[in-house]
């Protein structure tokens, strides 16, 4: 790699965003635009008896009101075969917030007023807002035509591990919950559809514009060339914007009917009950181990709450949890199984990490349970069970799940050089004996997760056409370059990272490279941004396209210099003859020559413009070791994160500054899950956390100053050696925090605290443990 890869350059994207010059979907203004507003169900489960739209239709400024019955032939959301979700509820509603009608008016305010005037008569049905209620004896199927609320069951092991568990010297049963969370991106769902005679254009807040194009084309019987999807600047996604939402279909249909652009802008309160939630898994775990903490067998039964309608990005997540259930450890027998259950709640989809944080939390809590049971240091148990560096690549028992190059013990070693573990343990002991000081706890998380999502057979399971990624690199005649990519960034920094890759490969100035993305009219094919695939898959496609440009430029330079290609080198933007640095031509001169056909070698096409498709043969596996230190106020139960140290291995680091930013963001979300966030419902299915007053996001005051570092073991699974990093912080942090909380309370006999570890919950534990305050 050259001098730009690995350089901590400042992001190209930031000046426009920081000065308000970004373009988001709601910034797009088209003449004649009208506005769509939903009428949403206020009940969690009910039959629709009637819908009276007469008063709404008569509201000034209203162009129309539509129910499911008014839109015959409207295609459903094809998210999960056999369980297609209608865009508007048909016959009954299944969760609070499910749309039952839409109003379109000249402005958003008139549409909202008219939506209030729509009268819906319901016949209430039994509500099953939890896994327990939905799977209880006599529970009514929420989705008509199904026999129960268990919509998917799968066993991913040839053994149930019972023999190995029974033979183990020690056996523990543990119940763990990974609570439901909301992504809460700064920008909610927004879309603008414009149906013209030439076809459909949709501007949308999506992580996957090409997938959205393909879906819309198939639904409306159009060719892909007749559908254009544009994802401009997107204000955060966190996986939730990888889903394909009903409003994309509805705005398109209504634009076609009204012959006007139709815009939908979700409110924050709508976003909290409409955008897919994340996590929502419960794990029943049994682990067998010997006297020194060696893990012998693991059985985990996963139950996923997938909400009122299974989402394509959500229903497969327990499979990923199962695949990663062994974590960093060499466990002889692992027996995962899962079931997905529909409940009268908001559908569940991807959320940063998407199935892997759930697995990492499970196995890291199990390791700490084992250590507590045996009276061992948690790090001792980890070291005893690590897959070692010289065993990589490591084939797990799951077909196709092969860990790439990694050094799990090495990451932990580097972490320990930073934290001074002995001093922390001494401080913990001293505080336990001093009632005037807060309790101190030390928690660790040694993790491995899936990144570089791409192999087509895997992505096809989530409804995508493939797992490859596309890139085009064009060198202009003035020596500048343009990159076109199929990825669709929403904060990752692709404009910067991909320019660094091209700057190195072509030896041209970083400042003269621009990026085009998120528009299916200018980038014909792509998959999108999710699953930590931006650098490993998208970046590798950019690298290969740039490599093709370099190879062609080398041939032209050799022709210009009347030299053999093998005698040339590219240094500081110039092709020169090795050993005679004064004899050469610049890349800019080669670019000019590439547009002069009479001066090119025979058979050469004009220009330096190359496309590459990179299909990874395997996933990559980012890993690392994190440590969290917490202080617990003995009087209030308040948990303060006093220190957080992260050592990550994401393979080749393209930009250390952006890598640090990704760790900061992911860890913040992980800390928030551990201490603050939870989407809660009452037994009647009514949301108890429908606003940001109730759903407690972290503020700057809740977060520590992070300490970050890296070890670097490049992967051999892609040409850049990059593994991905966007989800590592969110994968590692929850268990590091919870392990620290449990450690702080360990002397009171506490073995577990369920997330989120709120002050009320911790205070009750302190009280029930009879903590001495004298």
Other C-beta atoms within 10 Å of 341: how many? 27
Does residue 447 have a cis peptide bond before it, meaning omega lies within 30 degrees of 0?
A: no
334: three-class secondary structure by DSSP? strand
Please check whether the two domains, 277-451+620-768 and 468-614, share a CATH topology.
Answer: yes
Other C-beta atoms within 10 Å of 380: how many? 13
The Cα 422–Cα 420 span in angstroms is 6
**DSSP secondary structure letters along 153-208:** EEE--S---HHHHHHSSEEEEEEEEEEEEE---SS--EEEEEEETTEEEEEE--S-
Contacts of 102 (CB under 8 A, 6+ apart): 36, 37, 38, 39, 65, 66, 88, 250, 254
Sorting pLDDT into bands at 50, 70 and 90, what band is 773? low
> CA end-to-end span of the chain, whole Å?
62
Does the domain at residues 468-614 carry the CATH identifier 3.30.365.10? yes
Question: In b/e form, how buried is each residue of 80-110, taking b as 16+ CB within 10 angstroms?
Answer: beebebbbbbeebbbbbbbbbbbbbbbebeb
- For residues 603-626, give the mean pLDDT: 96
The tokens describing 587, both together, are 């890349």
71: three-class secondary structure by DSSP? coil
Sorting pLDDT into bands at 50, 70 and 90, what band is 771? low
Other C-beta atoms within 10 Å of 518: how many? 29
> What pLDDT was estimated at residue 29?
97
In angstroms, the Cα distances linking 385 to 330, 361, 624 are 6, 17, 15
Q: What is the pLDDT of residues 461-500, one digit of tens each?
A: 777 889 999 999 999 999 999 999 999 999 999 999 999 9
Other C-beta atoms within 10 Å of 384: how many? 18
State CA 281 to chain mean position distance: 16
The topology (CATH level 3) of 32-125 is Aldehyde Oxidoreductase; domain 3 (3.90.1170)
The Cα 420–Cα 106 span in angstroms is 64
Other C-beta atoms within 10 Å of 9: how many? 18
DSSP letter at 695 equals S
135: three-class secondary structure by DSSP? coil
- For residues 178-199, give the mean pLDDT: 98
The Cα 721–Cα 243 span in angstroms is 29
- For residues 337-357, give the mean pLDDT: 98
Q: Are 183 and 243 in contact (CB under 8 A)?
A: no
Q: What is the pLDDT of residues 291-312, one digit of tens each?
A: 999 999 999 999 999 999 999 9
Q: Is the confidence at residue 1, as pLDDT, over 80?
A: no
- For residues 189-213, give the mean pLDDT: 98
Contacts of 226 (CB under 8 A, 6+ apart): 198, 199, 200, 217
Q: Is the confidence at residue 763, as pLDDT, over 70?
A: yes
- For residues 689-699, give the mean pLDDT: 96
Sorting pLDDT into bands at 50, 70 and 90, what band is 80? confident
- Helix and strand numbers (H, E) in the chain are 20, 28
Domain parsing of the chain, residue ranges: 32-125, 277-451+620-768, 468-614
Q: What is the pTM of this model?
A: 0.96
> To the nearest whole number, what is the mean pLDDT of the chain?
96
> What pLDDT was estimated at residue 461?
79
Q: In what order do the strands lie in the sheet with 706-710?
A: 439-448, 623-632, 639-649, 706-710
> What pLDDT was estimated at residue 726?
96
Instruction: Say what angle helices 656-675 and 728-745 make with each other, to 10 degrees.
Output: 40
DSSP letter at 352 equals T
563: three-class secondary structure by DSSP? coil
φ, ψ for residue 113, nearest 5 deg: -65, -45
CA nearest 181: which of 357, 366, 322? 357
Contacts of 383 (CB under 8 A, 6+ apart): 409, 412
Q: Are 614 and 527 in contact (CB under 8 A)?
A: no
Q: Is the confidence at residue 772, as pLDDT, over 80?
A: no
> What pLDDT was estimated at residue 293?
98
- For residues 576-597, give the mean pLDDT: 94
Give the residue carrying structure tokens 């692709």. Answer: 494
Percent of the chain whose pLDDT exceeds 90: 94
Sorting pLDDT into bands at 50, 70 and 90, what band is 774? very low
Strand partners, 654: none
Percent of the chain whose pLDDT exceeds 70: 99
Q: Is the confidence at residue 725, as pLDDT, over 70?
A: yes
Beta strands at 227-230 and 199-204: parallel, antiparallel or unpaired: parallel
CA-based max dimension of the chain: 93
The topology (CATH level 3) of 277-451+620-768 is Aldehyde Oxidoreductase; domain 4 (3.30.365)
In angstroms, the Cα distances linking 259 to 63, 75, 194, 277 are 12, 19, 8, 34
Q: Is the confidence at residue 215, as pLDDT, over 90?
A: yes
Sorting pLDDT into bands at 50, 70 and 90, what band is 425? very high
- For residues 442-461, give the mean pLDDT: 93
The Cα 669–Cα 666 span in angstroms is 5
The tokens describing 674, both together, are 């551990």
Q: What is the pLDDT of residues 126-144, one digit of tens each?
A: 999 999 999 999 999 999 9
Q: What is the pLDDT of residues 264-277, one digit of tens each?
A: 999 999 999 999 99
Sorting pLDDT into bands at 50, 70 and 90, what band is 582? confident
């Amino acid at each position: 790699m050259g001098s730009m890869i690995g350089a901590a350059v400042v992001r190209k994207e930031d000046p426009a965003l920081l000065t308000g010059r970004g373009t988001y979907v709601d910034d797009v203004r088209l003449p004649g635009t009208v506005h769509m507003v939903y009428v949403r169900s206020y009940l969690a489960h009910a039959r629709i008896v009637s819908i009276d739209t007469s008063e709404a239709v008569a509201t000034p400024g209203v162009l129309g009101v539509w129910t499911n019955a008014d839109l015959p032939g409207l295609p459903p959301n094809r998210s999960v075969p056999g369980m297609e979700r209608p865009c508007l509820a048909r016959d009954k509603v299944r969760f609070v917030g499910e749309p039952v009608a839409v109003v379109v008016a000249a402005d958003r305010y008139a549409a909202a007023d008219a939506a209030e005037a729509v009268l819906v008569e319901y016949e209430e049905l039994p509500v099953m807002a939890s896994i327990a209620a939905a799977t209880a004896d006599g529970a009514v199927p929420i989705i008509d035509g199904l026999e129960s609320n268990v919509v998917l069951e799968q066993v991913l092991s040839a053994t149930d591990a019972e023999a190995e568990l029974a033979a183990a010297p020690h056996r523990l049963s543990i119940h763990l919950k990974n609570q439901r969370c909301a992504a809460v991106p700064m920008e909610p769902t927004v879309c603008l559809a414009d149906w013209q005679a030439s076809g459909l254009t949709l501007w949308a807040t999506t992580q996957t514009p090409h997938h959205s194009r393909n879906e819309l084309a198939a639904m409306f019987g159009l060719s892909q060339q007749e559908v254009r999807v544009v994802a401009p600047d997107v204000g955060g996604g966190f996986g939730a914007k990888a889903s394909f939402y009903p409003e994309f279909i509805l705005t398109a249909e209504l634009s076609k009917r009204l012959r006007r652009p139709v815009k939908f802008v979700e409110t924050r309160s709508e976003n909290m009950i409409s955008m897919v939630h994340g996590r929502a898994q419960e794990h029943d775990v049994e682990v067998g181990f010997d006297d020194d903490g060696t893990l012998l067998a693991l059985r985990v039964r996963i139950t996923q709450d997938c909400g009122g309608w299974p989402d394509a990005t959500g229903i497969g997540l327990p499979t990923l949890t199962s695949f990663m259930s062994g974590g960093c450890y060499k466990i002889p027998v692992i027996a995962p199984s899962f079931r997905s259950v529909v409940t009268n709640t908001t559908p569940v989809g991807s959320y940063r990490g998407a199935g892997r944080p759930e697995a990492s939390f499970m196995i890291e809590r199990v390791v700490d349970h084992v250590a507590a049971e045996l009276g061992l240091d948690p790090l001792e148990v980890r070291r005893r069970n690590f897959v070692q560096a010289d065993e990589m690549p490591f084939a797990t028992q799951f077909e196709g799940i092969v860990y790439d190059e990694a050094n799990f013990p090495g990451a932990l070693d580097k972490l320990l050089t930073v934290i001074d573990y002995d001093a922390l343990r001494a401080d913990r002991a001293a505080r336990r004996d001093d009632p005037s000081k807060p309790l101190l706890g030390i928690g660790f998380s040694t993790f491995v997760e899936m990144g570089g999502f791409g192999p087509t057979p895997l992505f096809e399971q989530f409804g995508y056409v493939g797992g490859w990624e596309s890139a085009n690199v064009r060198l202009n005649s003035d020596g500048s370059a343009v990159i076109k990519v199929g990825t669709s960034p929403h904060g990752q920094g692709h404009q910067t990272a991909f320019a660094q890759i091209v700057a190195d490969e072509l030896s041209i100035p970083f400042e003269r490279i621009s990026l085009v993305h998120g528009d299916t009219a200018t980038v014909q094919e792509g998959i999108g941004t999710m699953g930590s695939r931006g650098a490993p898959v998208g970046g590798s496609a950019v690298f290969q396209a740039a490599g093709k440009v370099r190879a062609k430029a080398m041939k032209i330079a050799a022709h210009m210099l009347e030299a053999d290609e093998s005698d040339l080198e590219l240094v500081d933007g110039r092709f020169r003859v090795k050993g005679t640095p004064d004899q050469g031509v610049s890349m800019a001169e080669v670019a000019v020559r590439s547009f002069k056909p009479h001066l090119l070698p025979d058979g050469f096409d004009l220009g330096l413009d190359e496309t590459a498709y990179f299909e990874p043969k395997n996933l990559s596996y980012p890993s690392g070791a994190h440590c969290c230190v917490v202080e617990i106020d003995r009087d209030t139960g308040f948990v303060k994160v006093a220190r957080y140290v992260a050592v990550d291995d994401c393979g080749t680091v393209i930009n250390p500054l952006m890598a640090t930013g990704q760790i900061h963001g992911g860890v913040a979300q992980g800390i928030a899950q551990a201490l603050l966030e939870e989407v809660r419902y009452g037994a009647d299915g009514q949301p108890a956390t429908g606003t940001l007053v109730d759903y407690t996001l972290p503020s700057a005051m809740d977060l520590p100053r992070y300490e970050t570092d890296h070890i670097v073991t490049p992967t051999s699974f892609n040409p850049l050696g990059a593994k991905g990093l966007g989800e590592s912080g969110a994968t590692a942090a929850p268990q590091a925090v919870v392990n620290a909380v449990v450690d702080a309370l360990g002397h009171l006999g506490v073995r577990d605290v369920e997330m989120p570890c709120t002050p009320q919950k911790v205070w009750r534990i302190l009280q029930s443990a009879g903590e001495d305050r004298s």
